[in-house]
Amino acid sequence: MNQHLNRKVKSLQNFDYYSDRLPSNTLTEVKDLCQEYHNAPNSKSYNDKLAGFIQDEYLLTDEIANLVMPHIYEGACALFEQPLMKWKLDAGWVNYQKQYEINPLHNHTGLLSFVMWINIPYDINEELNLPYVKDSTIKKSATAFTFVYHDIHGTLCQQPFRIDKRGEGKFVIFHSQLYHMVYPFYTSDGHRISIAGNISPKN
């Protein structure tokens, strides 16, 4: 297995996931396309297929998919240690999450899922310093995309990914049955834009 790819496969208790970042030029292009797509005449609502309590959720366009999916497929090959494995996109969507909106605990269909953070409108330190956040016993989960899982002892655990402006372009790939959620943010009236979807091996 390619050693460069291997460093991007992370182990967490009893499961692995893949983590990487889009090249900066690709991120710029994807961000521009996502901004144009939001509320555009050709945007296709995807709310009825998703679990989120999010107003603006749209089907992923082919133009955006062509830019991001090669990076997802490469990560999937690394996760399975099969560099020649072929993948297909089963479903993809773009979330435009607003202040206070939440993506509740859920999982996906298929073999692997991914989430990619395109635009983050807040600074994590401002979020963590809110009066009702800074003294919380689960402060580390504020604004976070979070895996929820049982460890080898059966204890329910959370693994948060606190992404702010400095983390734009990052993505994770994980097994679709792994439960996860996204906590709300409070300090910005902008949109947290993410791309997500499910992939499976080609026959």
pLDDT digits (tens, 9 = 90+) for 172-188: 999 999 999 999 999 99
| 174 contacts 113 by C-beta, under 8 angstroms | yes
Q: What is the CATH number of the domain that holds 131?
A: 2.60.120.620
pLDDT value at 170 more than 90: yes
Torsion from C-alpha of 146, 152, 153, 154, nearest 10 degrees: 50
**Model confidence at 164, in pLDDT bands (50, 70, 90)?**
confident
Q: Which two tokens stand for residue 38?
A: 């939001």
What tens digit of pLDDT does each residue of 79-98 get? 999 999 999 999 999 999 99
Kindly report the pTM of this predicted structure. 0.92
Report d(CA 112, CA 144) in Å as an integer.
20
Amino acid letter for position 80: F
**134: DSSP letter:** H
Residue type, 110: G
pLDDT at 76 over 70: yes
pLDDT of residue 153: 87
For residue 73, give its domain range. Answer: 3-201
- Write the Ramachandran bin of 118: left for phi over 0, alpha for psi from -120 to 50, otherwise beta: alpha
The CB-side HSE value for 88 (13 A sphere, CA atoms) comes to: 5
Number of domains forming the structure of the chain: 1
